[in-house]
Structure formats: structure tokens, C-alpha cells
């Protein structure tokens, strides 16, 4: 027998997704006169900006994840269900999930984004994405498995491939991951694997445009590139990855790269749910919303965060797919739902851009806050403080601070563990099936 959500005389708000947007929305609706139901396929909130540190063994996964039930402990009329949402039927105000059908008065879609492989079979099947904690853990295992294999292999080309890493995409994720790998190469790996010649190890950061961190100013981009190059990262600009064949990366130039690991950070697309009018899905696979984050053509369905595209003259592509936008939209839609409950008019969403930042390694970061632009050690401290305070849970902040302090003073990382060996062949089969299933559906 399936346990249903308790009935209530309050209007029910169903939130799909426990990321930044969904969590902030649910927090803003505390004691607001609504029954809140949150659905997510995981039972935790993941702090995605630090996934790259899990992948490079600086942090353990449980230090950037926090149980959703614990976040909302003590909330009245809040119910969490671990479930995947398969469909929505707007005409009947129903969500079809993996556990049961759930009725709603207001539906909030906060499903975030997923990796955009550009519909390329080789990239989809063989490259390594990093959008979730399981994917970050898979990448961590693969990195260290590569070096374990390199120790026992005699073929020079194969050893070179195992020791090389190509990162496609030089946005904040790609830049931070490249910097972390550069620090591993400089300070950690030679101590763990003294038999290997680490002058062979190459880290390539490939970017299709003419600079890294294109969303930041030119001066910040140039600083970031200098920091990366000091760490031994080879920055390859004006180059696109065309395909990946498992042991070498093909580009649109004459230069291809030998590597057994391609990490794909070159783009994301929205992750909408089935059942919405196809006309509401716009460029980037995002859901078009009005100035109130209400899905076009719907009166009681909202979309917030990465999956939402609020297209205006100022933002013809929609707002950037970053955490600050998701957080602000979650809070704003919460305020508007309160206004609806009070029979008041909703107010339009206005995004306040507080700046951008990226870290490249110890004492190396770039920060832009309004008109202020700075880099180096001070920027690194600012980056650490902002990310530390943004983590959910006091315990997580303490653990992350302790690990960062230890890593700073001894340049070591204690999580170089292969807990669950990563089996690429199994993942390839799963991804290949999913890829061709999608082709059949799209065709």
C-alpha cells in the first residue's frame, strides 16, 4: 500500500527539486499557510560549487551534502518524499512520480540542469561529467585508478594516456577543476607514486572562446590563465572538442590529445519534466517563464533556478544558470506565494547580481564584486569565506574549514581513496542505451 500525503485544508505547494532554488523556496514558506511537499530523487541537498573538491580528494562527499529532512526539521505541514517525477498533468493538477500521483494547488519546478553533451555519441558515452555527488565520486575513483594502472603498464603511449587529463570548458567549474588537478600533480601525486615520471602528466584545459572565464572581465580572465599556467595547466583556446574515442580527444584544429580521461564541463541544459506544453520549452531546454517565474500559459505552475528562462530585453537568453539566481528566485517566488495567500498582487522578479568568483588553487583566485576586481591571496580568502558560509549545516562548515586549514598548512589531502572502483565499461553500456533510446524518442 502506498502512503499518500496527508490531506489538509491548506493549499498544497509541490516543489520538485531539493537544490538551491527548491530549498530556499521551502524555507521562505515556513508558517505561511501552505502545505509544502518536496520531491527529489536524492534525500540530500548537494552544494554543487564544491563538487570539484570531492572529485580531487580535497573533501569527502558528506561534507558538502546535507539531509533534506534535517534542513526542514520542525517545519509544520512539510513533507519530503524521495521520488523521481515522471510526468505532470497540468489540466488535472497532478504530478506523476515513481511513488504515486500527487495533487497540487501550486507546482514549483526546480529541477535544475544537466550536462549538455551536444548530442554527441562519443562525448555522451565516454566523457566524465561532474554535475552530482555520484559523478564526482566516480571521477575521483577514475583519477586514482588511472595512476594505479600506469604503475603496471609497459606500453608508453597507454601510460601517457592514463596520466593525461583533458578538461573541456573553461568556465568556473573547468578552471577550478584544472587548478585542483594542477595542485595534485605538484604536491600530492609524486609522493604517492614515486615510481612514475610526473613530467609526463599533462593537464589540458580546452576552451572554444579566446579566454578562460568568459563571463568575467578580461583582466580577471588573464589573471586566472596565468595562475593556471603556473600550476602546469596547458590552456588551449579557440578550440572545440569534436569527439572522444576513449583514448584520444579530437578537436576542430589539427591538434588532438592523447588522454584516457576527458572531463566534460563545457555546458549544461535545463532539465524540465514531461507534460508541459512543448511551446514553453525554449533554447537551452529551459522552461520559459514570465516576470513572476510563472510558466508561460499556466496560472499555478512556476519554474525557478537553472531550469527557468525569464527572457527580457536585458536578458535575451534568460538569467545565468548559477546558484545566486536560483537562491533569489526561490525566495522571491516564496514571497509571491505568500502574497497570493493574502489576496495581494504578485511583484515581478528582479535579479541582483552580487558578482562572480573562481579559485585556481592555494592563494590563487579571482573575485569581482560590483566594480571591484581583485585576485591573489585576498581573493582566495574571500572565495573561501563566501563558500564556507553558503554551506548548509554547522557541521559541514566545521569539517570543510578543518580540511581546508589542514590542506593549506601541509599541502596534503587525506581522501585519496578508491572506495567503489569505477567501471567505465558498465557506465558506457548504460549511457549508450540511454543515448539511443533518446534518439528513438526524438526521431
Q: Over the stretch 281-298, which tens digit does the pLDDT of each residue have?
A: 999 999 999 999 999 989
Reply yes or no on whether 176 is catalytic: yes
pLDDT value of residue 1 = 39
Place of cell 602546469: 232
Please determine whether the domains at 12-115+269-341 and 121-266+413-438 fall in the same fold group of CATH: yes
pLDDT value of residue 7 = 87
Q: How far apart are CA 363 and CA 349, in angstroms?
A: 37
Please determine, looking at this structure, whether the domain spanning 121-266+413-438 carries the CATH number 3.30.360.10: no
How much is the pTM? 0.91
166 strand-pairing partners: 204, 262
Q: Which of 60, 176, 288, 368 is catalytic?
A: 176
Chosen CATH of 12-115+269-341 out of 1.20.1090.10, 3.90.1300.10, 3.50.50.60, 1.10.3720.10? 3.50.50.60
pLDDT tier, 429 (very low <50, low <70, confident <90, very high otherwise): confident
Beta strand 44-46 with 65-67 is antiparallel
CA-nearest of 325, 376, 366, 380 to 213 is 366
Average pLDDT, the chain: 92
Beta strand 241-244 with 248-251 is antiparallel
Q: Structural domain boundaries of the chain?
A: 12-115+269-341, 121-266+413-438
pLDDT value of residue 119 = 86
pLDDT value of residue 370 = 83
pLDDT value of residue 60 = 92
Give the model confidence (pLDDT) of 389-404 as tens digits.
999 989 999 999 998 9
Give the model confidence (pLDDT) of 354-377 as tens digits.
889 999 989 999 999 888 999 999
Amino acid at each position: 500500500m502506498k502512503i499518500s500525503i496527508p490531506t489538509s485544508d491548506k493549499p498544497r505547494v509541490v516543489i520538485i527539486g531539493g537544490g538551491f532554488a527548491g530549498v530556499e523556496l521551502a524555507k521562505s514558506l515556513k508558517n505561511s499557510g501552505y502545505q509544502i511537499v518536496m520531491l527529489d530523487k536524492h534525500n540530500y541537498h548537494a552544494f554543487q560549487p564544491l563538487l570539484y573538491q570531492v572529485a580531487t580528494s580535497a573533501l569527502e562527499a558528506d561534507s558538502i551534502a546535507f539531509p533534506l529532512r534535517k534542513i526542514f526539521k520542525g517545519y509544520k505541514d512539510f513533507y519530503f518524499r524521495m521520488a523521481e517525477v515522471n510526468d505532470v498533468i497540468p489540466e488535472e493538477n497532478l504530478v506523476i512520480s515513481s511513488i504515486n500521483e500527487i495533487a497540487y494547488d501550486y507546482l514549483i519546478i526546480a529541477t535544475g540542469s544537466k550536462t549538455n553533451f551536444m548530442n554527441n555519441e562519443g562525448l555522451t558515452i565516454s566523457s566524465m561529467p561532474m554535475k552530482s555527488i555520484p559523478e564526482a565520486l566516480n571521477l575521483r575513483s577514475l583519477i586514482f585508478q588511472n595512476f594505479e594502472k600506469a604503475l603496471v603498464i609497459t606500453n608508453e603511449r597507454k601510460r601517457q594516456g592514463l596520466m593525461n587529463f583533458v578538461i573541456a570548458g573553461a568556465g568556473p567549474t573547468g578552471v577550478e577543476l584544472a587548478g585542483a588537478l594542477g595542485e595534485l600533480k605538484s604536491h600530492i601525486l609524486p609522493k604517492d607514486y614515486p615510481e612514475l615520471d610526473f613530467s609526463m602528466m599533462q593537464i589540458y584545459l580546452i576552451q572554444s572562446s579566446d579566454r578562460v572565464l568568459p563571463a568575467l572581465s578580461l583582466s580577471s580572465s588573464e589573471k586566472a590563465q596565468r595562475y593556471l599556467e603556473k600550476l602546469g595547466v596547458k590552456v588551449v583556446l579557440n578550440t572545440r572538442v569534436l569527439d572522444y574515442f576513449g583514448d584520444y580527444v579530437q578537436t576542430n584544429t589539427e591538434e588532438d590529445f592523447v588522454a584516457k580521461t576527458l572531463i566534460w564541463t563545457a555546458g549544461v541544459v535545463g532539465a524540465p519534466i514531461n507534460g508541459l506544453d512543448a511551446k514553453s520549452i525554449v533554447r537551452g531546454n529551459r522552461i520559459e517563464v514570465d516576470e513572476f517565474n510563472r510558466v508561460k500559459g499556466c496560472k499555478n505552475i512556476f519554474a525557478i533556478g537553472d531550469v527557468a528562462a525569464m527572457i527580457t530585453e536585458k536578458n535575451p537568453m534568460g538569467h545565468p544558470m548559477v546558484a545566486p539566481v536560483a537562491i533569489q528566485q526561490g525566495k522571491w517566488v516564496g514571497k509571491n506565494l505568500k502574497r497570493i495567500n493574502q489576496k495581494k498582487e504578485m511583484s515581478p522578479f528582479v535579479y541582483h547580481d552580487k558578482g562572480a568568483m573562481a579559485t585556481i588553487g592555494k592563494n590563487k583566485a579571482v573575485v569581482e564584486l560590483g566594480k571591484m576586481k581583485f585576485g591573489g591571496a585576498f581573493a582566495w580568502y574571500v572565495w573561501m569565506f563566501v563558500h564556507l558560509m553558503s554551506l548548509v549545516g554547522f557541521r559541514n562548515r566545521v569539517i570543510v574549514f578543518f580540511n581546508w586549514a589542514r590542506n593549506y598548512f601541509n599541502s596534503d589531502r587525506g581522501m585519496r581513496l578508491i572506495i567503489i572502483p569505477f567501471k567505465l565499461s558498465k557506465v558506457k553500456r548504460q549511457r549508450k542505451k540511454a543515448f539511443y533510446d533518446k534518439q528513438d524518442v526524438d526521431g
